[in-house]
Amino acid sequence: MNTVIRKIGNSEGVILPKDLLQSLNLKAGDSVVVIRDGDELRLRRVEDSAEEFERKMAIARERMKKYETVYRALAK
């Protein structure tokens, strides 16, 4: 798929075809992150769901508990 970088207001952007967006279940307002991989750019959906937040918080709690003594020593 080829597309062109276009002027959008004071910025520049890429317009993605409607069928591509539909196949990826993306719509206006959804968040994506741009990843630079050498000379290539990749787009990845940003998952900001409540389940994703809870998953990340569980990991944080686990690490805080595991390294509690280290964190307490560093806090002094």
* Higher pLDDT, residue 14 or 48: 14
What's the domain count of the chain? 2
Owning domain of residue 2: 1-45
State whether 20 and 6 are in the same domain.
Answer: yes
Q: What is the mean pLDDT of residues 4-31?
A: 92
**Banded model confidence at residue 50, pLDDT cuts 50, 70, 90:** confident
Q: Cα–Cα distance between 35 and 38 in angstroms, integer?
A: 10
CA atoms of 54 and 51, how far apart (whole Å): 5
What type of residue sits at position 62? E
Q: Which percentage of the chain shows pLDDT scores above 90? A: 67
Please report, to the nearest 10 degrees, the dihedral formed by the alpha carbons of residues 27, 23, 12, 3 taken in order. -150
Q: pTM of the prediction?
A: 0.53
Residues 75, 50 share a domain = yes
